[in-house]
Structure 1
């Protein structure tokens, strides 16, 4: 007889996490155990992550130097993975995350959770360069993970 294991009861992969605050403005909203829970929920393999919360200047410099785009972006994923372990640095820009959350009518915590899940999925090879691929694969996985964590659909239009 085959035993079925539900996704809810399935053990999550292990996670080693370093959490750094170069910009401390959101430290209270990002306790380590929450950040670890959000990333772990997106993992399909064991992971080693450094999460760094930065200001606009650092985010812009990294985006310019590594992506050739001279502006601060919400999250950058630096993937160093080699199976069987996912290894990555996730760099989140506090002022951009804050502005995006306010503009979208989302809580700061919900937006950080989304971006951390998003970055963790990038580190595992998920991509959204192609709109169809994004809607069918990466965004669907983000919705699934965030719903399991109790967050609303990050891509839903705000209620009028």
Structure 2
């Protein structure tokens, strides 16, 4: 927890992340993921250093380097930016927790090697996100609002 603002909507952020990611059902049950709940300034700094984009974004994923026979298998890190997540949820008229869960799933799929660089990849990744979110009783985040297409640019 890098930003205490998350404690309002997510008093137990660790349990929220664990529950959300456990539903991903991707065969990564033997994996370990680190999740950091941060603010826009923190994410902006990471985004500038690692992606060359001097702006905050909703979620960043950093895959772990391959380690032979490591158990549990480290998949990498997911970082969420509070202000961006809150603003996007409000703009889309969606519950904060639904949008945060969607972004956790999105970041997790990146750690598993999924991407959205092409239209076909984006369609596949979005379909996977929708299926996972259904198990959490979260409606299709793409059904009504295409403004939150995970910052494809």
Structure 1 residue 81: deviation in Å?
5.5
Structure 1 residue 86: deviation in Å?
4.6
Q: How do 1:100-115 residues align onto structure 2 when only pairs under 5 Å count?
A: 100-115=88-103
Distance 1:37 1:23, change over 3 A: same
1:138 to 122, 125, 130: 125
Q: TM-score, normalised by structure 2?
A: 0.83
Structure 1 residue 132: deviation in Å?
2.2
Q: How do 1:64-143 residues align onto structure 2 when only pairs under 5 Å count?
A: 64-80=48-64, 82=66, 85-135=73-123, 137-143=124-130
Q: Which runs of 5+ in 1 are unaligned?
A: 1-20
- Measured in 2, the distance between the counterparts of 1:25 and 1:102 equals 15
- Measured in 2, the distance between the counterparts of 1:93 and 1:59 equals 6
Give per-residue Cα distances to partners, 1:92-119, cap 9 Å, x unaligned.
0000000000001111000000000111
Poorly superposed stretches of 4+, deviation over 6 Å: none
Structure showing greater radius of gyration is 1
Give per-residue Cα distances to partners, 1:1-50, cap 9 Å, x unaligned.
xxxxxxxxxxxxxxxxxxxx111112243322221011122242122111
Q: Which runs of 5+ in 2 are unaligned?
A: 146-153
Report if the CA contact (8 A) 2:21-2:108 is conserved.
yes
Aligned positions, number: 137
- Measured in 1, the distance between the counterparts of 2:85 and 2:6 equals 10
- Measured in 2, the distance between the counterparts of 1:81 and 1:149 equals 30
Q: TM-score, normalised by structure 1?
A: 0.80
